[in-house]
Amino acid sequence: MAPLVLKLKENTLLNTKLCVTAQHREMLDQVLHFFKLTADYDLDLMQKNQSLNKLASRILDAVDDVLLDFNPDVVLVHGDTTTSSMAALAAFHRNIKVAHVEAGLRTYNKHAPFPEEINRQLTARLADYHFAPTIGAIENLIKNEGVRSENVYNTGNTVIDALLLGLQNINQQKDQIVKLKKYLVPNKRTILVTGHRRENFGDNFISLCKALNTLANREDVQIVFPVHLNPKIKDIAYDHLKANENIYLSEPLDYEAFIWIMNECHFIITDSGGIQEEAPTLKKPVLVTRDLTERMEAVDLRVVKLTGSAYDSIVKNSVALLENKEFYNQMVSSFNPYGDGKTSEKIINILMKE
């Protein structure tokens, strides 16, 4: 949302306030700093090991106070977080219009991704303006869910705006980037790995770790794995991977350092949604350790491949990307279905017209 917020605040005809819940404090603060943003309302709701129900109830209550104080004409929420669905519900209860950025992505399986799929569907039921990133997302909303077509807009996704803006402002001397440079061996190919989805906790994540150890035993490979802070990920990752010298387990990377290593790597193994959208712009193949994705456009273009969490599937497809140039080149596209970097402008033009 950063590039959209920046452009909204530049517009003298609009009075824009930025509210953050701090659902993830560490990840939030570095992004605000990188994009030179200051929150007008910082709800600071992060608590260690809080349940989804506790978080949802606290967001609903705290956002209501913000709405009473500011009384906006429209509330913009993004994507599929608990913050988005609860902020949308709070606005609805106050009869304030809701605009959903990154609307319409679906798996239609309420457990994958969990709880994000239902967060998206709840937000869609509450939204007045649906800013959809792709034609497929538009079809989900109009054809499958009966949203009125005049309320749905094909805008692309602001994540591409953020990526392109971020790449222009990378500081090569940033501590995390300097550390990465010291680790990386020039004649080895780098596999970037992330993992954090709740549906992959437990055996699925252990399976990924076993696959990474197998891949890291190759002399031509090095793996960079910024490890999520959740103990259900962090503890298993360090138990299974810390002894392998070809695997660099790092602290969670700031957005700036992450897009730098994403641009440097050979390919990516992830269960993230956003990376599936960013990587095509950087021409990086992505193996997704999920059975379902709400971003099928990238799969259809063959720039993203669903491997699931099975050991054999992850290793087989990774080896193919390392050894089969034709397979690798098929997964590199000159086209990104999720946007051209101008989504923020499109959204603001629509809001001004409405």
Residue pair 96/74 in contact (Cβ under 8 Å)? The answer is yes
At residue 100, the 3 state secondary structure works out as strand
Burial environment of residue 315 by CB neighbours within 10 A (0 to 12, 13 to 18, 19 or more)? middle
Helix ranges restricted to H, the chain:
2-10, 25-34, 52-70, 82-93, 116-126, 135-139, 158-168, 175-183, 203-216, 231-241, 255-264, 274-282, 296-301, 311-323, 325-330, 343-353
- Using CA atoms, how far residue 168 sits from 137, 164, 172, 268, in Å, is 29, 7, 11, 22
The catalytically annotated residue of 24, 78, 93, 196 is: 196
> How many alpha carbons fall within 13 Å on the CB side of residue 175?
5
The CA distance from 66 to 26, in Å, is 22
> How many alpha carbons fall within 13 Å on the CB side of residue 4?
26
The CA distance from 28 to 11, in Å, is 24
The CA distance from 254 to 86, in Å, is 26
Which run of H or E residues covers position 189?
strand 189-193
Is 196 part of the annotated catalytic residue set?
yes
DSSP string across 103-168: -----S-TTTTTTHHHHHHHHHHH-SEEEESSHHHHHIIIIIT---GGGEEE---HHHHHHHHHHH
Helices 203-216 & 231-241, crossing angle to 10 degrees? 30
Which are the catalytic amino acids? 196
